[in-house]
Structure 1
């Protein structure tokens, strides 16, 4: 039977995917309107929170909105309900609609907005474009009865341990014999109090980023059958896990810039695209950064990009790109709407794994302020 979920539980799940710790300093993320201390039946995923978005949420009995762009980005000086911003907040409160924002943490996280854009363009061998965060790795070693090896390995992988590059659930196992004597007040899963026991066990080794330690250990303890679990944690002396804004990768086949601009427009479902560079220039290495990426043109050039895809390109930034020999394609800020389907699918998958009864869907409201003529 499917289980009911509350707001705190679904946000805890979401933050396993897009941890708040990844957000750039000063970003306005997290709970913005309402409460998470309630049952959640309907969740709507949106890029922006406009009054039209709230009207859609009301019509669909939405309990929780997860948005990419925070509706409250600057401190409120007043809340006047006959003005647009005040009216939006009033509708949320009156209809008990909670609003949670995931901004740069959703841009930066693995599988987040920038990976969604890179995947849509078919980029291969992708790397972080602008490093913003480094997280040390640790190794977990846990001893498990042989019959429970697969259960514990899967639980650790599902919690985020064992992610190495493009691979998940990476772990190594060796078999051996464990011994123990349960004392008087023990309630052993195997054996009897006072008797020395020897059990065929498996030593499982896996790695995880420090920020996931609590989640990984909780998953281990939940899946492990023993009352007292034998495990060790070791620091790893190797390059820390690097995360950041944007991605840079390669196309399968070289293209001309003009053709590639049309390809970008089609794949990212943009109404139009501005281009800097000669249409017949050859492009192979591609950098992409959702939203406003004006200040990163030099980073894209340093990393060897032939073309840089970003939104909100300034006139003088376009001149700078021309002078350093970097082609640029601007399909607009709204291409970030790719997150609506991406986050919906990710969150649905996480909830289905745990048998939660919940309806999650993307907003159908078009929040693009621009009309292309």
Structure 2
């Protein structure tokens, strides 16, 4: 049984939810412990509370991957007689690593907001609040004809060549490459000191700048040459826009009352707060996990009929009411949809790389501090 190293696990995780996506000031990444160890069991949770830590210890977990960071601000003291200090002490004593993916997981494709939109049955979703644009770059690499297919597949699998719904897009030009291997070389083709002529393919493909490291790594691993000849160019075309929240449409119009029942079923909540006439028609839906007060205007500007978010302020609700925007507030804890979503994503990545000695489980602890009575 082959267990993944923590550094490799997080490297794969950050290939789709990179820390660079996090909003400024958000404390994401390693929180407690070390990544430099074998990981036989991962626990995915929304929150890190003492009950969750006890669950991790009981399940012999090596790493917790959480959505909400356990460390929000720098610590001045750590008193282990306090509940918080006791929890941190348990993590350290039992060698449980804690890693947090917060707003980067909100923004990432396939992350919290995509999972929430999917649960609500939204189609043709777009970003609600733009936070960044990932600029495009172009890779040009010269490969012997016989190995071109292998390199093409490798860079495509690493994230190059995605245009719309098409993947592995490249342009290939045949030509002749020349080189003279030096005395200290071990050439794949040719002899030391002799001019070598090789039938090569000039392979071109675009990729998001955020994926440059992994694309180049995949290219160099698949390429047969000791010294790979390649160029990377910046492009003027705009890249993919990323951000918080999603906005999309239901398959068919329904009343706000019916939509509320949809929200309750999607997120397994018995009650939620609603703003708006329950008989009004709903078709276009904005959703933003967590606390969405300051983004209410984005939902209005983008023409949403209803805004699904948590922790809505009394006065924000008045503003929405005056502007004709309905609100469904199922609470902050509905971000728990990330547990199963992240579990499936990590499991797929582990299976792809043959790590059959690492298990991924989700926390069964209910971490919502609120109860409706």
Same fold (TM over 0.5): yes
Question: Structure 1-normalised TM-score?
Answer: 0.94
**Partner Cα separation in structure 2 for residue 178 and residue 355 of structure 1:** 38
Report whether the alignment pairs 1:171 with 2:169: yes
- 1:114 CA displacement: 0.7
**Greater CA drift, 205-214 or 314-323:** 205-214
- 1:165 CA displacement: 4.0
- 1:128 CA displacement: 0.9
The equivalent of 2:370 in structure 1 is 370
Aligned Cα RMSD in Å? 1.8
Deviations 1:40-67 (A, max 9, x none): 1111111000001001100111111010
The equivalent of 1:224 in structure 2 is 223
Q: Secondary structure at the match of 2:205?
A: strand
- 1:125 CA displacement: 1.6
**Partner Cα separation in structure 2 for residue 102 and residue 209 of structure 1:** 21
Q: Secondary structure at the match of 1:16?
A: coil
**Greater CA drift, 286-295 or 271-280:** 271-280
| 8 Å CA contact 1:177, 1:198 repeated in 2 | no
Q: 1:273 to 1:154 in 2, by over 3 A?
A: farther
Q: Secondary structure at the match of 2:27?
A: coil
Deviations 1:286-338 (A, max 9, x none): 11100000111111100111111101111211111000110111111111111
**Partner Cα separation in structure 2 for residue 286 and residue 328 of structure 1:** 10
Report whether the alignment pairs 1:238 with 2:251: no
**Partner Cα separation in structure 2 for residue 253 and residue 201 of structure 1:** 53
Report whether the alignment pairs 1:180 with 2:178: yes
The equivalent of 1:49 in structure 2 is 48
Q: 1:251 to 1:199 in 2, by over 3 A?
A: farther
- 1:215 CA displacement: 1.6
- 1:195 CA displacement: 4.8
Question: Structure 2-normalised TM-score?
Answer: 0.94
**Partner Cα separation in structure 2 for residue 196 and residue 103 of structure 1:** 54
**Partner Cα separation in structure 2 for residue 230 and residue 312 of structure 1:** 54
Residues 19-34 of structure 1 mapped to structure 2, 5 A cutoff: 19-34=18-33
The equivalent of 1:306 in structure 2 is 305
**Partner Cα separation in structure 1 for residue 332 and residue 108 of structure 2:** 19
The equivalent of 1:359 in structure 2 is 359
- 1:340 CA displacement: 0.6
**Partner Cα separation in structure 2 for residue 249 and residue 368 of structure 1:** 27
**Greater CA drift, 336-345 or 158-167:** 158-167
The equivalent of 2:262 in structure 1 is 263
- Structure 1: 5+ residue runs without aligned partners? none
**Greater CA drift, 8-17 or 152-161:** 152-161
**Partner Cα separation in structure 2 for residue 216 and residue 270 of structure 1:** 42
- Structure 2: 5+ residue runs without aligned partners? none
Q: 1:344 to 1:298 in 2, by over 3 A?
A: same
